[in-house]
Amino acid sequence: MPLTSNRLSKVQKHITKKKGKDLNLHENSRDTKRLHSAHMRDNKLNRLASVREKQNRPFLLRIKSFQSYTVEHDEPCTIPELQRMIEDYLGRDDDEISKLQAERRAGRPPSTRETLLKQNRDVEQGEYTSGFWLPELEDMEVLKKLKAWNGQWANLATMKFVRLSRDGVKKESSFPPKGLS
C-alpha cells in the first residue's frame, strides 16, 4: 500500500504554478533536480513503510489469531487457558509440515516451504520457552479492546502485552515487542 506523496505533489504544484501548463524543463535545471529529489524521497519513504509492514505482519497475524480465540470468552482467561491457546497457535502449521513430509520422496531434501515452516516453528517454540509475546488476556479491558480491534498496527498501542513462558511465568511487556521486553 503506497503512501500518498505530500512532498512530491507540493513540488509539482509549485513548479507548475511557476512555469505554467507547459512543463518543459531542462534536463539539469533546478526544478528538475527538485522533482527528482522529491520523487526519490517518496520512493525511500514507501520502501521503508513496506519493510516496516513486512516486519510487523507476523505480530499482526499472531494477535489476529488470539482475537479469534477470544471470540467465545466473555471473561478474562486464566494462565492454563492462555497456555492452551499458545500451544494451539504453535501447532497451526503441523498439518502442512506433515503433509509436505509425506509428499516428499525418500532420500530427497525438504522443500523450501517445509524448511521455512520448521524454522519458524522452532523460533516460536524457543520464544515460548523464554516468554511468548501476547495481549494481556487476564485483563477484562484488554479483552474488550482485542475483540473490537480492527486489525490496524496503530490501534495496538492502547493494549497491554505480556510475555508468558512455558513454565507459567508472566512478565509485562512493551509494545511494539523488542527482544525479551
Task: Give the residue among 116, 122, 120, 123 at the shortest CA–CA distance from 100.
Answer: 116
Whether the predicted pLDDT of 16 surpasses 60: yes
Average pLDDT in the chain: 87
- The pTM (predicted TM-score) of the whole model is 0.74
Cα 88 to Cα 165: distance, rounded to the nearest angstrom = 15
CATH number belonging to domain 6-173: 1.20.1440.170
For the segment 93-145, what is each residue's pLDDT rounded down to a tens digit? Answer: 999 999 999 999 988 999 999 999 999 999 999 999 999 999 999 989 999 99
CA distances, 82 to each of 1, 103, 124, 163, 180 (Å): 34, 34, 15, 11, 19
Domain ranges for the chain? 6-173
Task: Report the relative pairing of strands 132-135 and 170-173 from DSSP bridges.
Answer: unpaired
Which residue reads 495481549 in cell numbers? 135
For the segment 29-68, what is each residue's pLDDT rounded down to a tens digit? Answer: 888 888 888 889 989 999 999 999 998 898 999 999 999 9
